[in-house]
Structure 1
Amino acid sequence: MDQKAQGSLPPVIGVGTPVAYPAAAAAAVPYQAYHHLYQQQQQQQNQQLQMFWADQCREIEQTTDFKNHNLPLARIKKIMKADEDVRMIAAEAPVVFARACEMFILELTHRGWAHAEENKRRTLQKNDIAAAITRTDVFDFLVDIVPREEGKDEGIPRPMGAPATDPLAYYYVQQ
């Protein structure tokens, strides 16, 4: 064989000779890149939730008109009276409950939207809300009410070592 032909042949490796596999090294890079992207996404979602709660606190402090509501007070009062132990309800109670319900719905929707964006979708679906409930410990009371559809789970796989629950733990931002 001539020298040019020998230069193009792979080197002969003896038994017991360590071999570096470039494919294994290359596989670690996408995992690291994915893990970094995952961390950035979680930090962004955490910042969005902090801003959400800061805005909610600011809005509550600045509220002076308690007559306009997004949820019907009569329906809230009716639900409150459904409990046989409740006899009388102060006029302020349905107003406070209405605001609390609005905040609850907003946070649940916000967390569901974050799940939809993780899956690169712009449409909020039932499984997004179910994922938000599953990932957040505070929403555990809803697990039986909104069951997760296992067959339609489009969740991105979590990197090794990532928590199974929502890294955006429920918190209250104090002023």
Structure 2
Amino acid sequence: MDQKGHGNPPQVMGVGTPVGYPAAAAAPYQAYHHLYHQQQQQQQQQLQLFWADQYREIEQTTDFKNHSLPLARIKKIMKADEDVRMIAAEAPVVFARACEMFILELTHRGWAHAEENKRRTLQKSDIAAAITRTDVFDFLVDIVPREEGKEDAINRPMGAPATDPLAYYYVQQ
């Protein structure tokens, strides 16, 4: 078992034939395994493009008055911490942008999970799967629990890795 409690994928010998599988069963497995890895690579590329676009957008921002999230609400949340005494005018603006990026990435990862399951509707289970698969979102595991009876292993293709195929990317300039 890995650190997230998932089983390891079957051991593979040669070019993708699972150990213990008859040779006749290898062809469909190899094709499915190849398709799965192709999909994961595409999702990784999409995530890298997402972060590159985020950096580009940040660098080009000159108007700090338009926000997707209400600054008054952000400031109220910041003041909820008893250790916070004063808040500089720029802090809620930066915090709001960070929240937007957090929501966008979580949604992006959830959407990737929905597409893996051949759905076009984002569900709570997709967000929960994105949280479970991404180490940086571990702090949300108790806030967005997985639905009972829907284990990630059931939705994962045979032989697919249990850990996040969309490793957290930080694109440096």
TM-score interval, normalised by the smaller of the two chains: 0.7 to 0.9
The aligned amino acid for 1:141 is F
Aligned to 2:26: 28
Q: 1:64 aligns with which of 62, 65, 82?
A: 62
Deviation at 1:153, TM superposition (A): 4.9
Which residue of structure 2 lines up, in the alignment, with residue 102 of structure 1?
100
AA matched with 2:127? I
Which of 116, 119, 141 does residue 121 from structure 1 map onto? 119
Residue equivalent to 2:156: 157
Instruction: Look up the equivalent residue of 1:129 and give its one-letter code.
Output: I
Q: Is the 8 A contact 1:130 1:146 kept in 2?
A: yes
Distance in 2 (CA, whole Å) between partners of 1:140 and 1:109 is: 16
Partner Cα separation in structure 2 for residue 144 and residue 156 of structure 1: 21
Which SS does the other structure have where 2:22 is aligned?
helix
Once residues 159 and 121 of structure 1 are traced to their aligned partners in structure 2, the CA distance between those partners, rounded to angstroms, is 19
State the alpha-carbon separation in 2 of the partners of residues 68 and 86 from structure 1: 25
Distance in 1, Cα, partners of 2:92 & 2:62:
16
Whether the 8 Å CA contact 2:111–2:122 is kept in 1: the answer is yes
Deviations 1:10-29 (A, max 9, x none): xxxxxxxxxxxxx9333111
The structural deviation recorded for 1:151 is 1.9
Supply the distance in 2 between the matched residues of 1:67 and 1:95 (Cα, whole angstroms). Answer: 8
The runs of 5 or more residues in structure 1 that have no matched partner are 1-22
Identify the residue that residue 8 of structure 1 maps to in structure 2: none
Distance, in Å, in 2 between the alignment partners of 1:126 and 1:153 is 14
Q: Which is higher, the Rg of structure 1 or of structure 2?
A: 1
How many Å apart are 1:163 and its aligned residue? 2.6
Structure 2 unaligned regions, length at least 5:
1-20
Fraction of identical pairs, as percent = 89
Q: What is the Cα-based RMSD across aligned positions, in Å?
A: 1.5
For 1:83 and 1:148, the matched residues in 2 are separated by 28
Q: Deviations over 1:121-160 (max 9, x none)?
A: 0000000000000000000000000001132457533333
| 2:43 is equivalent to residue 45 of structure 1 | yes
Cα distance in 2 between the residues matched to 1:103 and 1:71:
11
What is the total number of aligned residue pairs between the two structures? 152
8 Å contact kept, 2:47–2:169 = no
> What TM-score, normalized to structure 1?
0.83
Tell me the distance in 2 between the aligned counterparts of 1:80 and 1:34. 48
SS class of match (1:83)? coil
